[in-house]
């Protein structure tokens, strides 16, 4: 199963855009890239997913490199509510989620 690498932590100011990077150099051609986040004291929450093209939804945007070896989750305007651990995930062979350590995002006012 392919692995992902993310920075342990990042910090952002409120109302500023946040770019959360993820490396997945061993990704296979059929692997989708998923992002989930876990707010304090809650279960993980789906954010977005993509395969090759950039994707947008109401929560975030996902930019995928042309070679698919890296991706970036973009929060357009960080709020205090966005402080969470963000996981970049490829799936296990049975389609369960293969969580790594994630990036802890701190948002300061």
String of contacts with other proteins for each residue 60-89, x by CB under 8 A: ---------------------------x--
**Phi, psi values for residue 6, rounded to 5°:** -135, 155
Identify whether the C-beta of residue 68 lies closer than 8 Å to the C-beta of residue 52.
yes
In the bound state with other proteins, the residue whose beta carbon lies nearer, of 49 and 68, is 49
Residue with tokens 């963000």: 86
d(CA 46, CA 69): 21
String of contacts with other proteins for each residue 3-42, x by CB under 8 A: ---------------------------x-x-x---x---x
- The neighbouring-strand residues paired with 10 are 105
**Phi, psi values for residue 101, rounded to 5°:** -85, -20
Considering the rule CB under 8 A, would residue 56 count as an interface residue with other proteins? no
In the bound state with other proteins, the residue whose beta carbon lies nearer, of 42 and 109, is 42
Considering the rule CB under 8 A, would residue 44 count as an interface residue with other proteins? yes
Considering the rule CB under 8 A, would residue 109 count as an interface residue with other proteins? no
CA triplet 81, 84, 87: central angle to 5 degrees? Answer: 135
Binding site for other proteins (CB under 8 A): 30, 32, 34, 38, 42-46, 49, 87, 92-102
């Amino acid at each position: 199963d392919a692995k992902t690498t993310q920075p342990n932590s990042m910090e952002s100011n409120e109302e500023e855009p946040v770019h959360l990077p993820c490396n997945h150099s061993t990704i296979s051609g059929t692997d989708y890239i998923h992002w989930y986040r876990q707010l304090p004291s809650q279960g993980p929450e789906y954010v977005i997913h993509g395969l090759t093209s950039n994707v947008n939804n109401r929560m975030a945007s996902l930019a995928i490199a042309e070679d698919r070896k890296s991706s970036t989750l973009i929060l357009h305007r960080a709020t205090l509510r966005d402080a969470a651990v963000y996981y970049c995930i490829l799936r296990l062979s049975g389609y369960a989620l293969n969580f790594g350590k994630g990036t802890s995002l701190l948002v300061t006012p």
